[in-house]
């Protein structure tokens, strides 16, 4: 008998730098893979390669969804809403979503913290 495939949970997260910069991302990873993943940005990957133990990144999970389309849309909406914030380090924006899949989407109420309000 085939083992039933575990249902994926799609996460929208924010990676925080110690100096207040942040990166908004999406992931379907789970467990240790998700814990160790901070994003695909070249800035993040270079910092982790240079300082694997002391990079100082902190990840905040903003929302979790059963539908990939809801996670992707939320990621893009949060990136769009923060596009003028100089602390946001997202640069690539690749949007292709089927709107009919998003009729029941609820956007989380998340606001980028100022550098002074980032919890350590």
pLDDT digits (tens, 9 = 90+) for 77-109: 999 889 889 999 999 887 777 778 888 888 888
pLDDT digits (tens, 9 = 90+) for 11-65: 999 999 999 999 999 999 999 999 999 999 999 999 999 999 999 999 999 999 9
Query: Using H for helix, E for strand and C for coil, what is the string for 15-51?
Result: EECCCCCEEEEEECCCHHHHHHCCCCCHHHHHHHHHC
Q: Based on the number of CB atoms within 10 Å of its own CB, is 83 exposed (0-12), middle (13-18) or buried (19 or more)?
A: exposed
Domains (range + CATH), the chain: 10-102 (3.40.1440)
Ramachandran category for residue 77: left, alpha or beta (phi over 0 → left; psi -120 to 50 → alpha): alpha
Cα distances (angstroms) measured from residue 41 to each of 3, 16, 48, 98, 116: 35, 13, 11, 25, 24
């Amino acid at each position: 008998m085939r083992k039933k495939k575990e249902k994926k949970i799609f996460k929208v997260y924010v990676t925080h730098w110690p100096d207040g910069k942040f990166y908004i991302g999406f992931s379907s990873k789970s467990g240790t893979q998700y814990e160790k993943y901070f994003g695909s940005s070249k800035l993040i990957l270079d910092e982790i390669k240079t300082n694997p133990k002391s990079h100082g990144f902190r990840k905040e999970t903003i929302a979790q969804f059963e539908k990939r389309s809801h996670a992707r849309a939320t990621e893009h909406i949060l990136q769009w809403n923060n596009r003028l914030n100089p602390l946001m380090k997202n640069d690539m924006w690749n949007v292709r979503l089927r709107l009919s899949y998003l009729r029941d989407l609820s956007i989380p109420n998340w606001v980028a913290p100022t550098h002074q309000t980032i919890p350590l």
